[in-house]
Chain A
Amino acid sequence: MIIDPVTLIVALITVATPVLLAAIGELVVEKSGVLNLGVEGMMIMGAVCGFIVAHETGSVAMAFVAGMGGAMALALVFAVLTQVLMANQVASGLALTLFGLGLAALLGSGYSGLPVPVASRPFPEALQAIPVAGPILFSHSVLVYVAIALVGAVWFVLARTRAGLVIRAVGENHDAAHALGYKVVRIRFATILFGGACAGLGGAFLSVVRVQNWFDGMTAGAGWIALALVVFASWKAGRVLLGAWLFGGIAALQLRLQAAEVGVPVALLDASPYLVTIIVLVIISSDRRRAALNAPAALGRAFHAAS
């Protein structure tokens, strides 16, 4: 057997983490009725800010903070455009991605190939040495566990708390939520910034922990896959985790198949994560009942208080 299943699962969890973080953030944004197509731009801003700070300060924790900050700055621009100035959400999200890719390339020029500190792993060597379960469960860096915990937290907040109910109300019918006295714009600002922080964290994880390098366009569509995952998950937090692992599995597997030279065309392997994402998206959305069931009713619509 050329491909060892244990290392594959370990790689899958690492590969899935940036997409998972970005997707869980976007889920909250969409639950509040806002479609932010700028995930790719925010992720790459997180990646470049995180990488620069990791290299300059030597602190991985600071890098994550910087990644979140950089992406949140972009998210703030999106929030002002769509919530205050009532700009089209699709166009604003695209602008965020185009601008983010350009700005990140500008900021990151000259940083490619520089060393960054290695992220610490929270569990002791003894646990990591356990056969099979050790590497799979205990060998990751802190943020991997944080990401999974975040999925649980988002599920809990959205499904079980008052704050979650308010966010969902705003996303289902902003006029009714407004009439009840909820500050629609303020709530959406908060969710957009949360989405930015998550995307930035995912980007910083990608550059600082997973790849440990910076190069132009390194997110390579991860932000778009995160957007697809939210649809795939029918706006349910738990399914985002499932989708991210499925994507991570394909991405990790195709890299190993390329290394093993099994005779499948390289182009097909390169394209496979995107193709699988499309296929899964098609399967989910063609089921008429399931697709429409959880989509927030006010998704993508501008809110302007009449009085």
Chain B
Amino acid sequence: MIRLEKRPQPSRFWVVGAPVLAVLLTMIAGGIMFAALGKNPVEAIRIIFWDPLFSERFAGFSRPQLLVKAGPLILIAIGLSLGFRAGIWNIGAEGQYIVGALFGAAFGLAFWPSEHPLIFPGMIAAGLLGGFLWAMIPALLRVYARTNEILVSLLLVYVAEALLASAATGWLRNPEGSGFPGSRNLARNPGTDNPELIAGTGMHWGVLAAFVAVIAAYVIFSRHILGYQIRLAGEAPRAARFAGVNAGRLVILCLGASGALAGAAGLFEVAGPAGRISIDFNVGYGFTAIIVAFLGRLNPIGILLAGLLMALTFIGGELAQLMLGIPAAAIQAFQGMLLFFLLALDVLANYRFRWKREVAA
């Protein structure tokens, strides 16, 4: 029979190989799912993974969308990876994303219709602050009341959604919108717009921020004492305590940083691609970013690649919806499946399979 034997060191090959294999297996399993839905599986997979980038008909529109969708995913996932590495589980990024967007949009709308050059930087600061404050709730409760941050951060997503609904229908509603829910369009005013920086690329300030975050996280993990402390706390909490790592400070830092980044991602989205606060402007980036963080192995470069791949499934999913009538939910299930395969294949990195004959006692 097969036995598992723990490897003394994680296998270098499988640390990189497992995510690649997981993507391939997800394509196969996803193909089976699409076949079960009565669609041509090969065509569906091609439409999701190939056509958005290389088909002549769609690439012109789809290619810029890649960065638009990858930006927030990478920005949020980089923040989450800090905590996940230390065993601090912020799974409420969706809520921090919403509150960041609300703070940022409220700041911009407060000075409406001014076009002062400092308004957009102010909105970014407000977005960072909003996400940070929302993340401070689970952080402070964990440090000072030992409350589980997983449950608190997640439950606060529903509170943030209620807040968003009240903003869209009440205190941030467009006064000239003849009573329809939703705020003024921030992208239509040069003062509050988060514009496309290089035409035709989809690159906006949020994407730039995501790239900066990748580099910063890379430096923190490989060169800075904080990155060392995070890794130590995650891998050996007891040793970290003896080494003088302040666990409470780490919780506040990791949750605060991930909240601020998620809040900024929300602001960039609401001032750019989404344009305005509406009841459902959030499309679940905060949750998908969790998959991105794991798919990227909590490694900054990995997260960059994983974010681009996940963005591709979003765009490809929309295309498949249009071309084949595959329901939007199928893509969500597809992304969930990817995480399953990834977690299952992790065993290859940490364990060795050994054939062993059963010996009669």
Interface string of B289-333 (1 = CB under 8 A from A): 011001000000000000000000000000000000001111111
Q: Does A277 contact B (CB under 8 A)?
A: yes
CB <8 Å contact, A304 and B6: yes
CB < 8 Å: which of A102, A277, A282, A304 contacts B336?
A102
Residues of A within 8 A of B166 (CB): 265-267
B-chain residues with CB within 8 Å of residue A271 when the two chains form the complex: 158-159, 162-163
Q: Which residues of B contact A291 (CB under 8 A)?
A: 146
Residue in B147, B329, B331 whose CB lies within 8 Å of A281: B147
Query: Interface code B348-359, partner A: CB below 8 Å = 1, 0 otherwise?
Result: 001100000000
Q: Is the Cβ of B148 less than 8 Å from the Cβ of A281?
A: yes
Which A-chain residue is minimally distant from B157 (CB atoms)?
A221
Do A267 and B162 contact each other (CB < 8 Å), given the known contacts A102-B332, A231-B151, A278-B155? yes
Measured between beta carbons, the chain B residues less than 8 angstroms from A277 are: 151, 155
Q: State whether the Cβ of B281 lies closer than 8 Å to any Cβ in chain A.
A: no
- Is A103 a contact of B148 with CB atoms below 8 Å? no
* Minimum Cβ distance to chain B for residue A193 (Å): 17
Task: Pick the interface stretch among A90-98, A119-127, A135-143.
Answer: A90-98
Q: Does B343 contact A (CB under 8 A)?
A: yes
Give per-residue flags for A272-287: 1 if the beta carbon is below 8 A from chain B beta carbons, else 0: 0011011001100110
Chain B residues numbered 117-170 whose CB sits less than 8 Å from any CB in chain A? 141, 144-148, 150-152, 154-159, 162-163, 165-166
Q: Which residues of B contact A104 (CB under 8 A)?
A: 329
Given the known inter-chain contacts A98-B290, A281-B148, please indicate yes or no for A85 contacting B332, CB distance below 8 A. Answer: no
Decide if B147 touches A285 in the complex (CB within 8 Å).
Answer: yes
Q: Is the CB of A102 within 8 A of B159?
A: no
Q: For the complex, is B277 an interface residue (Cβ under 8 Å from A)?
A: no
Q: Tell me if A228 and B151 are in contact (CB < 8 A).
A: yes
CA–CA, A220 and B156, complex, Å: 12
B337: chain A residues within 8 A (beta carbon): 99
- By beta carbon, the residue of chain B nearest A100 is B336
Contact B145 A285, beta carbon cutoff 8 Å? yes
CB-nearest residue of chain B to A90: B89
Q: How far is the CA of A184 from the CA of B336 in the complex (A)?
A: 28
What residues on A are CB-neighbors of B146 within 8 Å?
285-286, 288, 291
Tell me whether A285 and B148 are in contact (CB under 8 A): yes
Is the pair B162, A227 in contact by a Cβ cutoff of 8 Å?
A: no
**Docked-complex contact B329 and A87, CB < 8 angstroms:** no
Q: Which chain A residue lies CB-closest to B167? A: A267
SS class of chain B's interface: helix, strand, loop or mixed? helix
Contacts of B268 in A (CB 8 A): none
Given A98-B335, A102-B336, A291-B146: A282 in contact with B165 (beta carbons within 8 A): no
State whether B151 touches A85 (Cβ < 8 A).
no
* B91 CB within 8 Å of chain A: yes
Chain A positions within 8 Å of B291 at CB level: 95, 98
Is the pair B151, A224 in contact by a Cβ cutoff of 8 Å? yes
Q: Any chain B CB within 8 A of the CB of A56?
A: no
Give the distance in Å from the alpha carbon of A225 to the alpha carbon of B155 in the complex. 8
Contacts of B339 in A (CB 8 A): 91, 94-95, 98-99
Query: Given A81-B343, A102-B330, are A224 and B155 also a contact pair (CB < 8 Å)?
Result: yes
A109 and B340 form a contact (CB under 8 A): no
Report yes or no: A101 in contact with B332, Cβ–Cβ below 8 A: yes
Specify which chain B residues have a CB less than 8 angstroms from the CB of A90 in the assembled complex: 89, 150
Q: A257 to B151, alpha carbons, bound, how many Å?
A: 26
Question: From residue B160, how far is it (CB to closest CB) to chain A in Å?
Answer: 9
A282 near B327 (CB under 8 angstroms)? no
1/0 per residue, CB under 8 A from B, across A213-236: the answer is: 000100011001101100100000
Residues from chain A with a CB closer than 8 A to the CB of B196 are none
B334 proximal to A (CB < 8 A):
yes
A227 to B343, Cβ gap below 8 A? no
Q: How many Å lie between the Cα of A107 and that of B199 in the bound state? A: 40
**B333 near A102 (CB under 8 angstroms)?**
yes
**B294: chain A residues within 8 A (beta carbon):** 91
Q: Mark B277-291, 1 if CB is under 8 A from A, else 0.
A: 000000000010011
Inter-chain contacts of B346 with A (CB < 8 A): 85, 87-88
- In whole angstroms, what is the CA distance A286 to B99 when docked? 27
| With A91-B294, A95-B339, A274-B159 as contacts: A102 and B148 at CB distance below 8 Å | no
Partner of A274, one of B156, B328, B344, B350: B156
Q: Are A286 and B145 in contact (CB under 8 A)?
A: yes
Is B23 interfacial (CB-CB < 8 Å)? no
Residue on B nearest A275 in the bound complex, by CB:
B159
Interface centre among A100, A101, A278 (most CB of B within 10 A): A278
Q: How far is the CB of A119 from chain B (nearest CB, A)?
A: 27
Can you name the residue of chain A whose Cβ is closest to the Cβ of B346? A87
Q: Is the CB of B336 within 8 A of A85?
A: no
- A81 in contact with B340 (CB, 8 Å): yes
A284 to chain B: closest residue by CB: B147
Within 8 Å of chain B (Cβ to Cβ): is A157? Answer: no
Which A-chain residue is minimally distant from B328 (CB atoms)?
Answer: A105
Residues from chain B with Cβ under 8 Å of A268 in the complex: 162
Chain A residue at smallest Cβ distance from B348: A85
Q: Which residues of A contact B6 (CB under 8 A)?
A: 304
Cβ contacts B65-86/A at 8 Å (1 or 0 each): 0000000000000000000000
**B329 is contacted by which of A102, A227, A270 (Cβ under 8 Å)?**
A102
Given A274-B155, A285-B145; A92-B327 close (CB under 8 Å):
no
Indicate which residue in B156, B328, B329, B340 contacts A278 across the interface (CB closer than 8 Å). B156
Residue pairs across A and B with Cβ atoms less than 8 A apart, 14 shown, are: A37-B150, A80-B344, A85-B346, A85-B347, A92-B340, A92-B343, A100-B336, A102-B331, A106-B330, A106-B332, A221-B154, A221-B157, A278-B141, A278-B155
Known: A271-B162, A277-B155. 10 other contacts (CB 8 A): A90-B89, A98-B336, A99-B339, A99-B340, A100-B336, A106-B37, A228-B155, A278-B141, A282-B145, A304-B4
Chain B interface residues toward A at CB < 8 A: 4, 6, 37, 89, 91, 141, 144-148, 150-152, 154-159, 162-163, 165-166, 287, 290-291, 294, 327-337, 339-340, 343-344, 346-347, 350-351
9 nearest interchain CB pairs?
Answer: A99-B336, A102-B332, A105-B329, A267-B166, A102-B333, A286-B145, A270-B162, A95-B339, A271-B162
